[in-house]
Amino acid sequence: MKKRLFTLLLAMALLVTCMPLTAMAAEKVDESIIYYDDFEGEKYAGVLNNNVSAAVSDEESYAGEKSLKITGYSRTYDMGPEYPLTNKAKQGHTYEVSFWAKVPEGNDPMTLRLKMSYTRNGTTSYPNIVGDREINGDLVVQASIGTLCDDQQEIIAFPSVYAHFDAMDARTKARYAESFTGNMSFREAVAAWVLEDHVRTLHRSVIAAPGGTGALWAAMNTFLDPGETV
């Protein structure tokens, strides 16, 4: 089996000042960018998991002279670079991620997936930012992540999921559903349920409805797209 090599450049920017990939090698980085790395400094500041290793290399590059060469992928769940954004992303801002990746010549094609990890109320979720993309040569990707922070500056994903529930008046909220610790916990449980890789699984031990299954059905269907059912 051929040894798999993987080279990756990653940059993250606010949509209000979209950064074109052709400008990634500029000497001055826009202040709106919360993470940027062209690896010219010979140092990788991210996190690696499992058996994966990384080193700055001048073998391949996109907009500068360096890139990050990642080796050691052997299983589908091996994870590559991870960039912590806690205390960096700001409330109410929309973010965009741009990156370049390449499988060096002579290696098998690879599949790349970009995920975001966030923990809320003790539960960690891993929603996709960019789904599976086959890399057979070069790959350039730009993807909008969306609003990440709540009013406590905690990183979350896609808070628009909450919109339907938040728009209800207090009487309707109480009529539709309630958790063991109040409506806010129900709101969080529904959000986690909907966001978990879009796999909708209902655990009755987590969510309870004073109006019985009919009220629970009505509340859950509020959060679903047309044509989807509980």
pLDDT in tens, 6-42: 333 333 222 222 223 333 333 444 556 666 666 776 6
Q: What is the pLDDT of residues 112-171, one digit of tens each?
A: 777 777 666 677 777 777 777 777 776 666 555 555 554 544 444 333 334 455 566 666
Indicate the pTM of the whole model: 0.47
- Backbone φ and ψ for 155, nearest 5 degrees, come out as -75, 125
Q: Which domains, ranges and CATH numbers included, belong to the chain?
A: 5-147 (2.60.120.260), 160-221 (no CATH)
Q: Hey, how many other C-beta atoms are within 10 angstroms of the C-beta on 102?
A: 24
Q: Hey, how many other C-beta atoms are within 10 angstroms of the C-beta on 168?
A: 16
**CB of 116 closer than 8 Å to CB of 127:** yes
3-class state of residue 68 by DSSP: strand
Q: Hey, how many other C-beta atoms are within 10 angstroms of the C-beta on 70?
A: 22
